Every structure is written in C-alpha cells, then in structure tokens.
C-alpha cells in the first residue's frame, strides 16, 4: 500500500470519528460538499488544463433542480440527487458544445457568459424563489427507509457519497482516459498527432466535471434545506478556483485542503474580527465578517507568493526532494 493510500485512509478514519470529537455535523457536511466541488473542478483545470469560470452554474443549477424534485415533485432524496447530477451533466454538455473548441481566456469567458445566463434564469424563474431562494427543502428518507432528519445519519450518508465520488475521480485520473487528458494538458498538438480526438476527450472531461459539481450542489441543498442565488452566482466559480489553487492544482489532495482552508476562513473570520475588536477596542474589526471576500483574497495572494504550487503541491515537491537526497 502506498503512502498516499495510508494518508487517505487516515483522513477517512478522522472524518468517520469527527462527529464524536466535537465537530459540528452540519459544518462538516458543508465542508465535504465544497471538497467535492473543488475536486470536480480540479479534474477539469488540474488534469485537462481547461479554466472554467462557469462552474457555479452546475453547482447552483443542480441545487435548484434537486430541491424542486424533492420539495415540489415529492421524489426521494436519492432520486433528487440523481436529478441534480444529471442536470449538471446536461449543462456541462451544453456549455462544452459552445466552449470546448476555444482555448485560454476565450474558453473561460464563454463559460462565464453562459453561467451568467443560468444566473438570470434562476433570478427570474418562479420555481426558484428569485432573490428569496428555494426554502424548506425536506431531507426525507433515503430509499424511503432511512430517515435523514438526524444530522448524524445525514453526515454519514454525505460522507459515503463524497468518498464514492472522490474514488471515481481517482479512478478516472489513473485510467487510460485520464492519461490522455494529462497529455492534452501538456501538449495538445502532440495528442492530436497521435490520433486522439482531443475535442471529444475535453468534452467528456467537462461533462464529468459538471456532473460531479452538480452532485455537490444537490448534496449541499439536501443538507442545508435551501438553494439560493449565491450558489449560482459567479463568485462561487471564483471561490472554487481559489480553493483549488490554494490547495494545489493538479494534485488529488490539494482541493480537499484548499476547500477546508477557505471554508474555515469564511466561517471563522467573523469570530476572529470580534476577538480583535475586544482586544484592541477598534470596532472596525467587527466588520471583517462582511469583508470575507477581501480577506480570503489576501490569503490567496499570500499563498500564491509563498506556495507557488499550492499548499499540497509544495509539500509533495518537498517530499520528492527529500527522497532524492
């Protein structure tokens, strides 16, 4: 068994034990959803080299469809999650058809423009609730048998789904398909010269990434019981880019670490500001909770300057240098 397998095994054991050592289950479930979202995005950017500014459309669009399927249509949670995942895949296919033949900034801008169209649909459509969002989505019972009302039960279901999705990503990356994606990222003209239809491979990668992002959004809606415009806003696309780059682009563990760092910062900045205000008497620090984007942006700049490969990228590079000496 490799060292990375041991590391993932220990992480899994820690996550299983987390609710029993004081971790708040709902917060942990939110963290798992964003870890899955970041891992899905990393599959596209880190291993295929496609920078998408439209992943919020897959997260938020799937969240609304899953919530509608469960709340209004009365579907069971697993069918709601499936509907959300298929929505993400469908949106990914549509986005890919328009964007996949473009590269660089042109590809990114097309995905952003299409994502903004999804945002305005979510804003205007009646079933989404507009600016109020979709509220009161019930968790229901898994397969009509296992009630998800209890946070602990919901946590372990969320953990199982996230682990299965992450295993799919790992299997994809280490498959022949994944090797072709890496080849496209490193040298697309050479991949074309070898006879690969790179547009088809990139489209498949885009659809898979969008489907997993849709699963993350659907799961988040099921956990929290609501879907809002924040999920489909362009800032969510920026947030997942931040998570991936901070953790380590093109590494399996990077998005997990990056999402944990960003989510923890967003939840703790308000408490940190209150503490600074109490210590210094400067009331401005209490407004830090409203300036989370500014603070996380500062953290991003520091990480880029200090950790050019991301946190896990630098750690992996350091371990490789140690092995060579």
pLDDT tens digits for range 21-58: 878 899 999 999 999 999 999 999 989 989 999 999 99
CA dist 34 → 100, 205, 223, 237, 255 (Å):
25, 19, 12, 12, 9
Residue 282: pLDDT over 50: no
Size (the chain), residues: 325
DSSP label of 309: T
Q: CB-based contacts of 155: which residues, under 8 Å, 6+ apart? A: 19, 25, 28, 29
Distances (CA, A) of 63 to 84, 122, 325: 6, 11, 49
Q: Residue 225 pLDDT > 50, yes or no?
A: yes
CA–CA separation, 233 vs 238, rounded Å?
9
Q: Whole-angstrom Cα distance, residue 105 to residue 100?
A: 12
**Domain range annotation of the chain:** 3-233
pLDDT of 285 reads 47
Q: Work out the burial of residue 57: count CB atoms within 10 Å of its CB; fewer than 13 is exposed, 13-18 middle, 19 or more buried.
A: buried
The pTM score is 0.90
pLDDT for residue 92 is more than 60: yes
3-class DSSP assignment, residue 305: helix
DSSP track, 117-176? HHHHHHHH-TTTTGGG-B------EETTTEE--SHHHHHHHHHHHHHHHHHHHHHHHTSH
Distance CA 299, CA 246 (A): 9
pLDDT higher at 157 or 278:
157
């Amino acid at each position: 068994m490799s060292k990375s397998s041991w590391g993932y095994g220990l992480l899994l054991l820690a996550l299983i034990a987390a609710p029993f050592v004081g971790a708040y289950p709902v917060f942990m479930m939110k963290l798992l959803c964003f870890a899955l979202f970041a891992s899905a995005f990393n599959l596209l950017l880190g291993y295929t080299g496609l920078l998408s500014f439209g992943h919020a459309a897959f997260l938020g669009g799937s969240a609304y469809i899953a919530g509608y399927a469960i709340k209004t249509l009365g579907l069971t949670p697993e069918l709601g999650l499936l509907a959300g995942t298929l929505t993400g895949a469908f949106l990914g296919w549509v986005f890919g058809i328009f964007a996949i033949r473009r590269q660089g900034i042109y590809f990114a801008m097309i995905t952003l423009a299409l994502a903004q169209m999804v945002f305005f649909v979510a804003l205007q459509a009646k079933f989404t609730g507009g600016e109020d969002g979709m509220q009161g989505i019930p968790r229901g019972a898994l397969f009509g048998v296992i009630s998800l009302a209890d946070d602990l039960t919901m946590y372990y279901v969320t953990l199982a789904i996230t682990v299965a999705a992450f295993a799919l990503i790992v299997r994809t990356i280490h498959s022949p398909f994944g090797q072709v994606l890496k080849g496209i990222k490193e040298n697309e003209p050479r991949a074309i010269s070898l006879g690969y239809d790179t547009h088809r491979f990139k489209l498949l990668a885009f659809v898979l990434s969008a489907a997993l992002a849709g699963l993350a959004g659907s799961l988040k809606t099921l956990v929290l019981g609501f879907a809002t415009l924040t999920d489909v806003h362009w800032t969510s696309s920026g947030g997942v880019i931040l998570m991936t780059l901070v953790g380590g682009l093109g590494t399996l563990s990077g998005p997990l670490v990056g999402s944990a760092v960003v989510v923890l910062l967003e939840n703790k900045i308000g408490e940190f500001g209150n503490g600074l205000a109490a210590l210094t008497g400067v009331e401005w620090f209490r407004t830090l909770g409203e300036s989370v984007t500014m603070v996380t942006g500062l953290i991003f700049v520091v990480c880029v300057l200090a950790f050019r490969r991301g946190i896990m990228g630098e750690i992996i590079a350091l371990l490789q240098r140690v092995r060579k000496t």
